[in-house]
Structure 1
Amino acid sequence: MAAAAAPAFKPITGMLRRGLILDLSIGLGLGFVFGNAFWYGYHMPRTNARDAYYRKLEETRAAKQGN
C-alpha cells in the first residue's frame, strides 16, 4: 500500500469559518438596522397617520349623530 500524497494546498477552514461568521454578522446587523429604519421611519408614521384619520372620521360621524 502506498501512502496518501499530501494535498497541494493548505486547508482553508479557519478562513472560511471566520469569513462565514463575518458575513452572517454583517448581513444580520444590516438587516436589523434597515428593518428598524423601515419600521420606525416609514411604517409606524403611516400607520399612525391612518389611525388618526379614521379616528377623526369616526368622531365626525359620532358628532353628526349626536352621540
Structure 2
Amino acid sequence: MAVTPITGMLRRRLVLDLSIGLGIGFTMANVFWYGFHLPRTHARDNFYTKLEAKRAEEAKE
C-alpha cells in the first residue's frame, strides 16, 4: 500500500487559505467602509453643516 506524497498539497492549501482569507477580509473591509463608515460620516457632516448655517442665520438677526 503506497502513501501519496504531500509535496504540492501544503503549498496549494496555503495559497488557497491565504486567498480566501484576504478575499473575505477585503470584502468585509469594503462592507464596513462603504456600508457603515461613509454614510455615518456624511450624516455627521450634514448635521454640522446645517447647524453652522443655522447659527450663521441666527447671528445675522
TM range (shorter): 0.7 to 0.9
CA distance, structure 2, for counterparts of residue 57 and residue 11 of structure 1: 69
TM-score (normalizing by structure 2): 0.87
Q: What CA RMSD, in Å, does the superposition of the two structures yield over aligned residues? A: 1.2
TM-score (normalizing by structure 1): 0.80
Other structure's SS at 2:58 match = helix
CA distance, structure 1, for counterparts of residue 23 and residue 55 of structure 2: 46
Quote the offset at 1:63 in angstroms: 0.6
Q: 1:21-64 deviations in whole A, cap 9, x for unaligned? A: 00000000000011000100011000100000000000001111
Quote the offset at 1:10 in angstroms: 5.6
Aligned partner (choices 43, 47, 51) of residue 53 of structure 1: 47
The structure in which a higher percent of residues are helix is: 2
CA distance, structure 2, for counterparts of residue 19 and residue 28 of structure 1: 14
- Aligned-residue sequence identity (percent) comes to 64
Structure 1 unaligned runs (5+)?
A: 1-8
Structure 2 unaligned runs (5+)?
A: none
Structure with higher Rg: it is 1
